[in-house]
Amino acid sequence: MAKLISRIGTNKEKFMYEIWIHSITMTIPTDAHIKVSWKRRNKIAETSGEAVMTQDSKLIEVNEMISMINTLYQKSSGKFLEKEAKLNILSEINGKSKIIGYVKLNLVDYCDTPIREHAYPIIGSKDKNAEICLSIKAELIDDSLSPHKHENESSSSEEEEKVIKIEENEGELDRKLDEINVMAKQLDELKEELDKINSENALLAHQVDDLKKIDEEKSKKNAEIKEKIEKAKNKKKILKEEFSAQKKAMQVLAESKLELTETHESLCLIKEWNEKEAEREAELKEKIIALEEEKNTVSKKKQEIDTGRIKEIDEMCKLMIEMNVLIENEIARLKEKNSKRKGNLLSEEERLSAVRRFTVMTPKKTDP
């Protein structure tokens, strides 16, 4: 409706738009035929779809032209009202086409501008760097010259008037179609709003029911919460008693811990004493071993001394025996002498001399 109001008091001008599609830069997940389509109401202009884009090729050359007549509305100031054209980029795989992006153009921008090649970003593509390279040409169509005049200059004025009326009717039809499209869009919007209102009403009814259920559940939950609070109070009392008992137990544990530390210290002292005693025992054992060694050496020496004394005693016994034999021999000799001297007994001097001779004959020995 706003477009229709804006067109009041304007002049319509028809332009032939020729759009050259040079190349497309884009990445796609699968190989596909690429087509560019320009649709306005019941008019469609599109490329052949022979261009193929693969996963590896980011750039394809199209080099095709699409054209369409469009009506622009000019204000009294000379400016044209904006008119949007939408070019869809389609991918065809196994006969199924899918829109993978589009380009929006304002046809007014190309009325008085020279033709030049320009890159346009592709909207709605997964590839954010996708773009299409286009050249756009706009040529004004003079309504005063109908197509029939170009074909046959000898046609009658009635036919010219009919053609003009037909063109005017086409313009009126275009306006009415635009109005119908606007009304249809408005009806669709109203239907959508009604659907939204109905859905909102249904949601509100559901929400009311839910709120009732929630209130019932809240009352139940409040009763449960009260019971839980009472149970919690009882538990709190029990926990306090348990806490006091645990506190007492902790005090007992602390006292026992002190006792344990004292016993530990005493055990450490005992351990040190035992270690010292062990060291003393080791020293005593070493001393005992040394004494035993000395004892063994002394016993060995004693045995050696005893064996030497025994030998000396044996020698002395032998000498005593020999001495007794000599004494007996001397006594016998003296007896013989005495017998020769009339049986007189030996005088004391002779006995002494005999003893002296025996002592002179025995060697003297000293103790070690």
The 10 Å Cβ neighbour count of residue 24 is 22
The pLDDT of residue 350 is 63
Angle (deg, nearest 10), helices 348-361 and 157-340: 150
Band the pLDDT of 202: cuts 50, 70, 90: confident
The pLDDT of residue 209 is 86
Angstrom CA distances, 268 to 255, 271, 276, 280, 348, stand at: 20, 5, 12, 18, 89
Q: Where along the chain do its domains lie?
A: 2-141
Enter the tokens of residue 266.
């005493």
CATH class of 2-141: mainly beta
The 10s digit of each residue's pLDDT in 46-99 is 999 899 999 888 899 999 999 999 988 888 888 888 899 999 999 999 888 999
Say what the pTM is.
0.41
